Structure 1
Amino acid sequence: MSGETLSQALAAFVHELRFADLPAAVRDKARLCVLHQLGMALAGHELPGASIAAELILADGGAAQATVLHGGWRSSAMNAAFANAVLFHGRVQDDTHHTAHLGTVLIAAGLALAEARRSSGEAFMTALVAGYEVAGALSREFTALTTPRGFRATALYGVLGAAAVSARLLGLDRERTAHALGIAATLAGGTIEPFAAGSEEFVLHNGQAARNGILAASLAARGLGAAVSALDGQAGFLRAFAGSTEGGERMLAGLGTCFEILNVNFKALPVCAGNQTPLLNARQLAAQLGATADIVAIDIDMHPFEARHPGIAYCGPFRNRVQTLMSTPFSVALGLLGRAVDMPALHAFDDPAVLRLVACARVHEAPDLAMLQSRIRVRLADGRELAASFYPQADQLRFSWAKEVTLLHGMRAEMPLDAAALDELIAEVGQLEQLTDLSSLVRRTSICRLRQCCHEQ
């Protein structure tokens, strides 16, 4: 690091990154991340957390800088980022980097601040990539240490990524960017206990991370300083949350070459990231079983990190969607029954067919499996046993543009816009770097405006 601290080295990368430095694959992935997140926001607009956050911001007021997408009203960039991140995370069908949902935070912060400053699409994309790289490098090296200690990766690394996005859009120099990262480090926090308890406050992690990233960069822009050792100091961020700074050198080694945004996955289904492949595996196994199979036992093998995550092994009773979307037995039951995995299915807390399968399902730690791999063994009443393994290929989790478009059109019934309007949004995101500002993109995603248009039609 040539004598630089982690925050100084990261700041240098963020400050020096240029749009021309971004490979075509990185630009493509940045557009895809934006499209996916905006689509999930539209499809999740009726979930209660989004309206609660939007109404709170309306009551709070604030300078009319950026749009609260759910309500259509304008507030400060920080307030809009908070509300929009909660909206983005409502379906939990967002992008994932290990266990961090970075797009919900970085895109919310970047969109709000870019709208407020009338930044170009090119500037917005460059800032996003910088944020994904900072948060992604931290996530890659330290999630395995911080999550078992009870800290949520989105809350920890998202705020640092949002600070990087905001520092770029505010035009901070290297020194001020390092201060922004240092301030963000002291604003980080959030636990994974909500997943164990089946409670809803986890969406606030995303909102707070987006808001605090803008706050950190704004304070640095106004002259507030932070410890240059905020990340790797003896009492700094990494030792506090991860218990170690080992991995810092590796974190920096690939900056600007590996581009962590390329390692971001997308969820095809509105359940926990750890449940995506067990559910797909269960669907695969259901084709072998047939509709009349009498299942008496289900054993689900997962990587130990995933199997130990709060909420994963939960077998009921189910009282809310947080419990069902986190429960691997519930997800596998839906898959074995061939059920649609949508909001009604996740709210069917008393479905007897699902509950019967959940009752005979158990989750096991399998050290031989990698993350996102699964193995399911089913025993039938007649003594037969069947098994299926699922080892996803990268392209199954890292969508192409065409696959994302198909996904969004398949969800359009849950969105407040028609097919033509969705296609217009897709086309605009497709030329994101050519936009002189993001006002049109925001209008196309403003749920209040879209509802009015649908009513007028």
Structure 2
Amino acid sequence: MAVEGSAGQDRATSDFSQEFSDFAANLSVADLSPEVIDAAKANIFDTMACATGGYSADGVQDLAGLVTDWGGKPEATIWCTDRRVPAPTAAWVNGMMSHARDFDDTHDAAVLHAGVSVIPAAVAAAEVAPEATGADLVAGVVVGLELISRLGMATTVGIIESGYMYTSLFGHFAATAAAARVLRLDAGQMRNALGIAYSQAAGNHQVTRDAALTKRVQPGFAAKTGLISTAMSRIGIRGAQQTFEGIDGLFRTYFHDRYDPARLREGLGTTFDFVDLSYKPYPCCRFNHTAIDAALALRPRIGDPSAIKAIRVGVNNQAYEAVCTPPDIRRAPRTVVQAQFSIPYTVAAALVTGGVGLNDLSEAALSRPEILALAARTECRVDDGIEAAWGRTISPAHVEVETENGTFSHRIDYPRGHVRNRMTRADFEAKMAGCLAASGLDWPADTVARFRAIVDGLEHAASGRSVLDGLRC
């Protein structure tokens, strides 16, 4: 007898994993519009650029050293090095490296990062399979980015209420789907791999509250799962089949059926949610960005920052919980992770320096008295109007700055890098140049141009592994 879930799916027979696998396993680049292909390549470029900056971030080389010491079959590359390790551990390190600076993409409506699990998994899969072409890599990236975006858009409960980080939780499935498509698994194998991924899926928000380095490791765990799950499926190990909508599937077990099954399926194969991904101009939590943009808009009107008496910032509840509490930590962060998740610190940095860059999110920068003085005068609150209209998304910010010469205010709804406020091609390339400089490695002068050319032509490349040729010192 069929069991009806509260979301209205026939749990005995229907599961989105089958529908998505049927679509994804048969996807060809020839089926995709130039816009979709370009969106996938933009994510490859940005995610791997962010990884170069993450190379020198706390914890990354520790993890790279650990997996190198473990050894194993030299299947895939730890990016920015010539070290080769088993594919799952390469994807694990590369996922951490991509996310370490919190500079990577976001889906502002779904509230997640998409590429940091998908790209490391897809590239590692391309290294495992010499027959995988550039077109296979692009198709795999499309599949993975689309799955994580759809899962996020269909989930109606926010990350603060659920306690899960959707980047990593949904990233386990997205990385698995991406790797499966690169490896050319058939629909049955892909569905099985998604079920195997379900046995590993996790990712919590407590890491952000505790400023844990595992915040930046979680997407790497998801990327690692993608390679493990596809390898297990290829040798015939059976996983769950009703992964998303079964009686004990993801949506009931993790979210108490608070999702929209129609939104999950809407336009599958014809419209792509991931083309709405946003990209970051500032290396910190996306919840900070509207407040930073508003502060920068106010800066010419304010003049001397020393004249500022108070700063007040209104955001939605998700943003308040993620980047405003506890207030004493957010006003005086003691670690880079705490600073990355602080509206008071990043707004103060923007007002003092005229921007928020990688140098502002470093251990050396955290003790600057002029920034800490402004951060100490910053008060954040939940804006009821913003919460009512924008409760599930990246929050707008209303910033009010009280000075000796008057009070000035500005509101930003769509931060820079959003699809309604896009970064330019030159912005992306300047961002990569900054990441290369932050890596501490000695890169050839033409690295950005060389990597850009490789990614631009990736769908025509004979090998998907060729993308790594652009990141060799």
Same fold (TM > 0.5): yes
Call closer, same or farther: CA 1:395–1:132 in 2, change over 3 Å: closer
SS state at 2:366 partner: coil
Which residue in the other structure is 1:407 paired with? 431
Which residue in the other structure is 1:358 paired with? 375
Tell whether 2:300 aligns with 1:287: yes
1:65–1:77 CA contact under 8 A, matched in 2? yes
- The structural deviation recorded for 1:207 is 0.9
Which residue in the other structure is 1:331 paired with? 346
Task: Name which of structure 1's ranges 33-42 and 401-410 shifts more when overlaid on structure 2.
Answer: 401-410
2:314–2:382 CA contact under 8 A, matched in 1? yes
SS state at 1:96 partner: coil
Deviations 1:299-351 (A, max 9, x none): 10112222222666644342210001100111111112134423332232222
SS state at 1:56 partner: helix
Which residue in the other structure is 1:373 paired with? 396
Which residue in the other structure is 2:5 paired with? none
Matches of residues 290-439 of structure 1 in structure 2 within 5 Å?
Answer: 290-291=303-304, 294-309=307-322, 314-316=327-329, 317-346=332-361, 347=363, 348-369=365-386, 370=390, 371-381=394-404, 384-392=406-414, 394-395=418-419, 398-415=422-439, 416=441, 417-439=443-465
Matches of residues 185-204 of structure 1 in structure 2 within 5 Å?
Answer: 185-204=198-217
Deviations 1:336-382 (A, max 9, x none): 21344233322322222112211121111124333342110122246
- The structural deviation recorded for 1:12 is 1.3
- The structural deviation recorded for 1:70 is 4.2
> Amino acid of the residue matched to residue 266 of structure 2?
A
CA distance in 1, matches of 2:52, 2:242: 40
2:116–2:219 CA contact under 8 A, matched in 1? yes
What is the RMSD computed on CA atoms of the aligned residues?
2.1
CA distance in 2, matches of 1:411, 1:230: 38
> Amino acid of the residue matched to residue 434 of structure 1?
H
2:278–2:419 CA contact under 8 A, matched in 1? no
Which residue in the other structure is 1:95 paired with? 105
- In the superposition, the TM-score normalised over structure 2's length comes to 0.89
- The structural deviation recorded for 1:252 is 0.9
- The structural deviation recorded for 1:400 is 4.0
CA distance in 2, matches of 1:174, 1:154: 24
Which residue in the other structure is 2:196 paired with? 183
CA distance in 1, matches of 2:83, 2:436: 24
CA distance in 1, matches of 2:148, 2:258: 15
Call closer, same or farther: CA 1:309–1:414 in 2, change over 3 Å: closer
Please, which runs of 5 or more residues in structure 1 have no aligned partner?
451-457
> How many equivalent residue pairs?
446
Deviations 1:99-157 (A, max 9, x none): 32221110000001101212111000001101111111001121634542211111111
> Amino acid of the residue matched to residue 402 of structure 2?
R
2:79–2:94 CA contact under 8 A, matched in 1? yes
Please, which runs of 5 or more residues in structure 2 have no aligned partner?
1-8
Same amino acid, percent of matched pairs: 25
Q: 1:229 aligns with which of 223, 229, 242?
A: 242
Tell whether 2:154 aligns with 1:130: no
> Amino acid of the residue matched to residue 124 of structure 1?
L
- The structural deviation recorded for 1:406 is 3.5
Which residue in the other structure is 1:14 paired with? 24
Deviations 1:167-204 (A, max 9, x none): 21222222221111111122111211121112211122
CA distance in 2, matches of 1:349, 1:408: 23
CA distance in 2, matches of 1:397, 1:189: 32
CA distance in 1, matches of 2:137, 2:23: 16
- The structural deviation recorded for 1:68 is 1.1
1:146–1:242 CA contact under 8 A, matched in 2? no
Tell whether 2:462 aligns with 1:443: no
CA distance in 2, matches of 1:292, 1:229: 57
CA distance in 2, matches of 1:389, 1:200: 32
Call closer, same or farther: CA 1:398–1:61 in 2, change over 3 Å: farther
> Amino acid of the residue matched to residue 249 of structure 2?
G
> Amino acid of the residue matched to residue 431 of structure 2?
L
Which residue in the other structure is 2:231 paired with? 218
